[in-house]
Amino acid sequence: MSDCLFCKIVEGKIPSKKVYEDEHTFAFEDINPQAPTHVLIVPKRHVVDLKEAKPEDAELIGYCQLVAAKIARQRNIENGYRTVYNVGPGAGQTVFHLHLHLLGGRPLSWPPG
């Protein structure tokens, strides 16, 4: 999508601190980190969000979780980390290209805010 921030990051048109890339996903450091590890894992294909997702997006949605687990292992934060899809403005979603937050490296309280 031409006017999508995360499509531009995936394409390298907007710079980011890349953490991981493969055929299906691109992961980079969040610009406003909420924890020592705050990485965004995005599918390269433009999917708006979870509520707009179609059955054919299911594998990609789950695959982002596996990429998060791989990054968490590499960063030695497996004692406790969180993966979050914010869905809708009421949950704090501001970018409408599906992205999985990986947060860790500090104690994470429950329930979240």
Q: Which is nearer to Zn ion, 77 or 101 (CB)?
A: 101
Residues 105/37, Cβ–Cβ less than 8 Å: yes
97 binds Zn ion (CB under 5 A): yes
Query: Please, where are the H alpha helices in 4-112?
Result: 5-10, 58-74
Residue 31 C-beta: closest distance to ligand 5GP, Å:
3
Query: Among this protein's residues, is 97 annotated catalytic?
Result: no
Contact partner at residue 94 from ligand 5GP, Zn ion, none, CB < 5 to 8 Å by partner kind: ligand 5GP
Q: What minimum distance in Å lies between the beta carbon of 26 and ligand 5GP? A: 11
Q: Of these, 44, 46, 70, 82, which contacts Zn ion (CB under 5 A)?
A: 46
Residues 54, 49: Cα–Cα separation, whole Å: 10
The answer to whether 44 contacts Zn ion (rule: CB under 5 A) is no
Give the shortest CB-79-to-ligand 5GP separation in angstroms.
Answer: 23
Query: What secondary structure letter does DSSP report for 31?
Result: S
Closest CA to 72 of 99, 37, 41: 37
Do 43 and 24 form a contact (C-beta atoms < 8 A)? yes
Catalytic positions, please? Answer: 99
